[in-house]
């Protein structure tokens, strides 16, 4: 669907030369001399790189319609991950490359919002935090109460995170899915 640069909005996804970009910000500029133009910052949906690009005013661009579906993670099939659409109950197989870092926070029964363009998964949106069980960590030493001290802990998904000294094996902790940092014990 063609859209004019005059109709750009933040968050809109564009298909420019077969590459998907999301509009981060835009500015209409009308100089004293010459024609008006639109200065934009675009984020590549697949790799996250941000570029700046300038378009003529009223230039036509191709808008990409991104399908967003609420899904539930069911199981791993070899290296792939299988999700179920919560409205149609259709199952979708997703490769680890399409999931990126989101794979570190997926546990069976967890929810995720899959963004697809055509048949390709272009992004995965997780809840802001998830609760995961600590499967491996060093025991906290009695009397070791250094303020802010951390130790590594392996979670049920295999992801490793730095946690405070008082966290033990089988504790359930909350982890921020955007940064991968420990938040609190659950």
Give the pLDDT band of residue 52 (cuts 50, 70, 90).
very high
Q: What's the rounded Cα separation, in Å, for the pair 185 and 119?
A: 39
Please say if the pLDDT value at position 147 is more than 80: no
| pTM (two decimals) | 0.69
As a whole-number percent, the residues of the chain with pLDDT over 70 amount to 95
φ, ψ for residue 21, nearest 5 deg: -125, 145
CA angle, 95 then 98 then 101, to 5°: 105
Domains recognised in the chain with CATH numbers = 2-63 (2.30.30.30), 67-125 (2.40.50.140), 130-185 (2.40.50.140)
- Which helix H or strand E contains 183, and what residues bound it? strand 182-185
Which tens digits make up the pLDDT trace of 87-96? 998 888 888 8
The per-residue pLDDT for 141 is 65
Please say if the pLDDT value at position 143 is more than 70: no
The first and second tokens of residue 15, run together, are 């298909």
């Amino acid at each position: 669907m063609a859209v004019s640069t005059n109709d750009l909005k933040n968050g809109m996804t564009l298909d420019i030369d077969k590459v998907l970009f999301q509009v981060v910000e835009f500015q209409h500029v009308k100089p004293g001399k010459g024609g008006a133009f639109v200065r934009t910052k675009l984020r590549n949906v697949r790799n996250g790189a941000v570029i700046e690009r300038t378009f003529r005013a009223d230039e036509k661009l191709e808008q990409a319609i991104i399908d967003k579906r609420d899904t539930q993670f069911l199981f791993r099939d070899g290296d792939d991950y299988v999700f179920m659409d919560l409205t149609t109950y259709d199952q979708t197989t997703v490769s680890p490359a399409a999931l990126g870092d989101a794979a570190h926070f997926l546990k069976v029964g967890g929810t995720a919002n899959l963004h697809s363009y055509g048949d390709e998964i272009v992004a995965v949106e997780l809840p802001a935090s998830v609760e995961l069980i600590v499967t491996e960590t060093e025991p906290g030493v009695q009397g070791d109460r250094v303020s802010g001290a951390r130790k590594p802990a392996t979670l049920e998904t295999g992801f490793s995170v730095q946690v405070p000294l008082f966290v033990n094996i089988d504790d359930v902790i909350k982890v921020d899915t955007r940064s991968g940092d420990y938040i609190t014990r659950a």
